[in-house]
Amino acid sequence: MPSNENRVIVIGGGMAGLAAAAFIAREGQSVKLFEQAGALGGRARTREQNGFYFNIGPHALYRQGAGFGILAELGITPKGAPPQVSKGFAVLGGVKHLLPTSTGSLFKTDLLGVASKLEIARLLATIAKLEGSEWMSASVTEWLTRRFKHESSRELLLALIRLSTYVNAPERLSAGAAIEQLKKAVAGGVLYLDEGWQTLVDQAAEAARSAGVAIETGAKIAFIERDDAGAVRAVGTQDGARFEASSVVIASSPQTAAELIGQDSAVARWAEKATQVKAACLDLALDRLPAPEATFALGIDRPLYLSVHSAAARLAPTGGALVHLAKYLPTDHTESPEEDERELEGLMDLIQPGWRASVAHRRFLPDMTVMNWLPAAQEGGPAGRPGPKVPDAPGLFVAGDWAGGEGFLVDASLSSAKEAARLAIEYQPASALTKKAKVKM
């Protein structure tokens, strides 16, 4: 059976796994990556159908996020464009208002009263100077209540926080983490990617292969083997193959990591503690867009989002449109999937009346995982996330949107992947240290 005592095994072929594998292989280490699905990418996969490019729900790449720089280190160039939200709608009580995205639109909109407009204007003028570190252990609800007098101001800011973090849990979400993410949104905005996020996956896979990573898809890892001291020494696949490993990086969910390493572990405790962030998503491919100028809407009193991604990026054939809608789900969500879908359709009726006659393809995702760990105030924000080093399993590291102390979403995934790679490169198994000591003697 294949073995390599110096091999690093990476489990998971999403963006985190591919990035970690590429960084490790670039340092001359032998790396093998296993992905249980038949294709790479995880939640970053894109499905093409008749010229429409479907991401798995709405995806956006923050230009000021840590991930953007890490992609550049890997030689990956995102191609796309920012959405135009200057004529977007804020929806309150089922009524459309101009969404305030600048000082000019702030004073034009009838969404807010004069006092609230002044309060929001002061925030926008000073947002770059806000120190999120001062609010990491306070919830978003606490921050909004303590800093803003007017309910309409708090409602708008809460909607903008949902938009930038994808999180609908203001009583739990770290205000400091939300502030830092909001600052990134205001300072640099986001990109929608031409032909979808699969373009990042394909470039990451090429970066890994060029560095020498051996990639195997359709291969499920069944267990991680450890020695008497708890250190990793091999992995086993579902079909019975065994691969020795000097270290292992798990780039998957905390639940999957716990299944692989066993219940008597720090990883299992992390998995029990993790709170997933979810969204209900409606993805629509339209032959034509009934209202071409109406390309963005944000719910104020309801946690809703609508964006015509093809208005910015190449995601649809000429004349067509690719629209993503989302409902940011609370952690105690009780409404049925049917109710969620009807609510998203209702938002589409309001913004794009007549859309039903133009549907070429549609997909409803009632319970999409957005992130595997909610950065909670109680844990001090992202710094309270676990890993990448697993303390009771020498040689084991984790990466993903739930690991490490940096950012949200793909920023967290790529940052933790880079750090997990550094730790795996530096790690020396006890067996290797023993051999070195014998040589010196």
What DSSP character marks residue 65?
A: S
d(C-alpha 48, C-alpha 45), whole Å: 10
Average pLDDT, the chain: 94
**Span 168-194, average pLDDT:** 97
d(C-alpha 207, C-alpha 242), whole Å: 26
pLDDT in tens, 281-304: 999 999 999 999 999 999 999 999
**Span 381-406, average pLDDT:** 96
The DSSP annotation for 332-389 comes to T--S-HHHHHHHHHHHHHHHSTTGGGGEEEEEEEEEEEEESS--BGGGTGGGGS--SB
Q: Where is pLDDT greater, at 360 or 87? A: 360
pLDDT of residue 263: 78
Instruction: Name which of 151-160, 400-409, 430-439 the model is least confident about.
Output: 430-439
Give 383's contacts (C-beta < 8 A, 6+ positions apart): 136, 405
pLDDT of residue 341: 98
Query: pTM for the complete prediction?
Result: 0.94
Give 134's contacts (C-beta < 8 A, 6+ positions apart): 176
402-418 CB burial, b ≥16 within 10 A, e <16: bbbbbbbbbbbbbbbbb
pLDDT band at 432 (very low <50, low <70, confident <90, very high): low
Tokens representing residue 414 in the block: 């790529």
The burial class, CB within 10 Å (0-12 / 13-18 / 19+), for 244 is: middle
Residue 439 in this model has a pLDDT that exceeds 80? no
**Span 302-325, average pLDDT:** 98
**Span 253-273, average pLDDT:** 93
pLDDT band at 308 (very low <50, low <70, confident <90, very high): very high
pLDDT band at 410 (very low <50, low <70, confident <90, very high): very high
pLDDT of residue 262: 86
pLDDT in tens, 121-177: 999 999 999 999 999 999 999 999 999 999 999 999 999 999 999 999 999 999 999
Longest dimension (CA), the chain: 81
**Span 429-435, average pLDDT:** 58
pLDDT in tens, 9-43: 999 999 999 999 999 999 999 999 999 999 999 99
Residue 357 in this model has a pLDDT that exceeds 50? yes
Tokens representing residue 416 in the block: 């933790």
pLDDT of residue 309: 98
pLDDT of residue 43: 95
Full set of structural domains in the chain with CATH: 8-44+199-273+375-440 (3.50.50.60), 46-82+191-196+275-371 (3.90.660.20), 101-188 (1.10.405)
The DSSP annotation for 75-144 comes to T----EE----TT-EEEETTEEEE---SHHHHHH-SSS-HHHHHHHHHHHHHGGG--GGGGTTSBHHHHH
**Span 107-117, average pLDDT:** 96
Strand partners for 279: 328, 368
Share of the chain above pLDDT 90, in %: 93
pLDDT of residue 429: 83
Short-list 230, 288, 221, 272, CA closest to 386 = 272
Residue 1 in this model has a pLDDT that exceeds 80? no
